[in-house]
Chains A and B, each alone.
Chain A
């Protein structure tokens, strides 16, 4: 049993006069009478048994004492068992990367937050603590309503490496977990931009410090054959150094004997970023690091090999010589394309098959039927990815009968390019009479076709992502996919191009199909908004709502059972004394 208001137990002092009055009344002279009923209002029925009556006064005393005790328990806000008084404190910790920034004393903000959290728990005498980590997807670190020691232990092992995000959904969630008008403490590194928008019951505590910082804002690696190209963008936030040394270390690859280590001096502009491009031969994992500063995490990246997966393109039988020649001429110079992929046993789904009209090839080229030649005007589907940068100026296009599918490019009533629902593309062109293959529109159009084929290929379209970016993934229907990352694994639902929510933290994410690794992507701990530490600072914005209940703790409403006991005792006492 616990008491929300122990002073209420003072009401037990009423027992003393009650007992005294009882014994004082007991001293009155007993007088035996023949007919007690003549001394009071007659009743319709006779008295109960003498045994009951003999103890009437004792029963009355006990009932009155019980009523006093019940009243005292009610005033003292007594609680039993599960309903015993609990103090629930909800801590919300900012999960963004900037929480790992060091202050001038070398202590990270997260460490200060841990200390403050322990202090809050101790001061609030919390018996139950819930710890939430804010993020693009908020998550529970401890609880709900965990023991304080467990909650603080969970916070001890927490690392803030998340992307920049809006904390309001997390705070609203915390408020709901805590209950209306209860205590929520948000621990972060920056004061609120608009304090009025902070939920009323949230106390906002910031422990950050405005610091200058130099950070990598993006890093890309591209492997073509044995050559690895690493592209880095470095930014300076604040009045930092004009020049930094980027240390790049390439571990030896499968065929290489030794690794490479370089130090690149990067000159940082006042505004904008500096771009550095490095190439390595036979490199394994490439590690890039900037000099230690306020936030070392955003100056280090690790780029494992990201081999280019060429798109296998096959030319079907039946193509006319002009079409075949023009296609082969394009394929000979197109990057990341394997001309003979189909012959190496590549899965049919991954082969971009080009054939004549009337075949089931994914891309058909040809113009059967009545031929018509157009020099313009050409009308194209604006914004369609297949038509990016395709210019039809100076083009003479000879087309045959209209192909099926949605028209993408038309001239008059003729459909020049169309796309079917399943992704099949038809190029309605007779290259013997057209000059399309001799202008820039032709390689650009085919390049777009290959790019779209690459995008619909199983795996990650992008291998390196920064924090907060959605994770695009392409899956094939009929298979079961799992995304395995630093935070565990989760199933991937849906077929085709799927945009997964931004990962909670940096690391290597592997896409598995039925337990077999399909592809891997690296989420880098880079976020320009988190690297900008100039706006950080300390603040303590108290909760606007600090109700009396909040002052006393987080106990639920006063228990009713003592009141019920009190009423029952009073009614029983009335009944007993009425009999006497």
Chain B
């Protein structure tokens, strides 16, 4: 994991939070609840027990009724980074490093933005870290789960409401993708599916016979990697990607595919641009 590259990118980036009211601890982002910020949210008639300090006396003078000024609260929303801990994420060292770097970058940018980052690692042994502990947790992540993300999510604590949920995985498994995306978006105002793919995932090399072994299940398949076989793989891969993207959109999320062989800066400036905005801001 190139932590230096992450550190270089963090200062100039911000997470693209969805433009909706959020919930969370006191902070800088408008909340869904009424509070004491300067942002005017609404007016309503005074009811016994309301804070008299919020009475809009100008309106009282105009109308003769006690009108209350409703202001919105300002909160610091949670950002959840879910990292797939399955073995396929470590298909190559670069793929594993890229997944860690993207998770770390998201957490670091969120911290710098005043948000509360939480890292959830869906591995063989589920991990949960917050704030500065995210870095150490990422360094210790082993990518050792023998099942895919849809199965390992069951081992994580129930999803909590959050402002933004970023899921880092390769999403290369057979599952009910709409149901998975719906589950991932539950309680989140915004959802980004960051798909980290190795070069072999995107464009497998062929030319000879091979015993293909599934990284997670260990199942084997013997194939002569001919052009036809590779073309069939590409066709099925595209179908899978289309299905995944459609499922993400239906869950009001976005699928961002990050080739692991690209540099982190290039990914931020390229495929991951919807997630990371230059200069920060909510």
* A residues apposed to B, CB below 8 Å: 25, 28-40, 42-43, 46-47, 49-50, 53-54, 56-57, 579-580
Contact B220 A53 (CB under 8 A): yes
CA of A502 to CA of B223 in the docked complex: distance in angstroms?
Answer: 85
Which chain B residue has the least Cβ–Cβ distance from A25?
B222
Minimum CB–CB distance from A166 to chain B (whole Å) comes to: 75
Chain B, interface size category, equals: 20 to 34
CB <8 Å contact, A28 and B210: yes
Question: Does the CB pair B215–A33 fall under 8 Å?
Answer: yes
A34–B201 touching, CB < 8 Å: yes
The reply to whether the CB of B71 lies closer than 8 angstroms to some CB of chain A is no
Given contacts A33-B201, A36-B213, 9 further A-B contacts (CB under 8 A): A33-B204, A35-B214, A36-B221, A39-B232, A42-B174, A47-B219, A53-B218, A53-B219, A580-B221
A49→B147 CA distance, assembly (Å) = 10
Chain B 55-90 per-residue mask, 1 if CB under 8 angstroms from chain A, else 0: 000000000000000000000000000000000100
* A28 and B213 alpha carbons, distance in the complex (Å): 12
CB contact between A33 and one of B200, B232, B236 (< 8 Å): that residue:
B200
Query: Which residues of chain B (169-186) have a CB below 8 Å from chain A?
Result: 170, 172-175
Judged by a CB distance under 8 angstroms, whether B46 is at the interface is no
Q: Tell me which of B200, B209, B217, B237 contacts A28 (CB under 8 A).
A: B209
Verify A50–B209 contact, CB threshold 8 A.
Answer: no
Q: Are B210 and A50 in contact (CB under 8 A)?
A: no
Are A35 and B219 touching (Cβ within 8 A)? no
Q: How far is the CB of A109 from chain B (nearest CB, A)?
A: 76
A579 to B208, CA, bound (A): 22
Query: B210 is contacted by which of A31, A34, A42, A579 (Cβ under 8 Å)?
Result: A31
Q: Are A36 and B219 in contact (CB under 8 A)?
A: yes
Closest 4 pairs (CB-CB, A-B): A35-B172, A36-B214, A50-B218, A34-B88
* Residue contact B212 to A33, C-beta cutoff 8 Å: yes
Question: How many CB-defined contacts (below 8 Å) exist between A and B?
Answer: 97
Q: Is the interface of B mostly helix, strand, loop or mixed?
A: mixed
Quick one: CB contact mask for B123-143 with A, threshold 8 Å, 1 for yes?
000000000000000000000
**CB closest residue in chain B, given A579:** B219
Instruction: Specify which of A30, A37, A43, A579 is in contact with B213 (CB 8 Å cutoff).
Output: A30
A28 contact set on B, CB distance < 8 A: 209-211, 222
**Is B198 positioned at the interface, with any CB of A under 8 Å from its CB?**
yes
Q: Are B211 and A31 in contact (CB under 8 A)?
A: yes
Complex CA gap A30/B209 in Å reads: 9
Q: How far is the CA of A39 from the CA of B220 in the complex (A)?
A: 11
23 contacts between A and B (CB under 8 A): A29-B211, A30-B210, A31-B211, A33-B201, A33-B212, A33-B213, A34-B201, A36-B213, A36-B214, A36-B217, A37-B214, A38-B233, A38-B240, A39-B233, A40-B221, A43-B174, A47-B214, A50-B216, A54-B218, A56-B219, A57-B220, A579-B219, A580-B221
> Does A34 lie within 8 Å of B223, measured CB to CB?
no
Given A38-B237, A39-B233, do A50 and B219 touch, yes or no (CB 8 Å)? yes
Kindly provide the distance from the CB of B82 to the nearest chain A CB, expressed in whole angstroms. 18
B182 to chain A, nearest CB (A): 19
Beta-carbon nearest neighbor of B238 in chain A: A38
In whole angstroms, what is the CA distance A76 to B207 when docked?
45
Distance between Cα atoms of A29 and B208 in the complex (Å): 9
- Mark interface residues in B216-250 (1 if CB within 8 Å of A CB, else 0): 11111111000001001100110010000000000
Q: Are A34 and B233 touching (Cβ within 8 A)?
A: no
- The yes or no answer to B91 lying at the interface (CB within 8 A) is yes
A34 touches B217 (CB 8 A): no
Chain B positions within 8 Å of A33 at CB level: 91, 200-201, 204, 212-215
Chain B residues within an 8 Å CB radius of A39: 212, 221, 223, 229, 232-233, 236
- Find out whether the CB atom of B209 lies under 8 angstroms from the CB atom of A29: yes
Judge if B25 is at the interface, Cβ distance under 8 Å. Answer: no
Across-interface contacts of B217 in A (CB, < 8 A): 36, 47, 49-50, 53
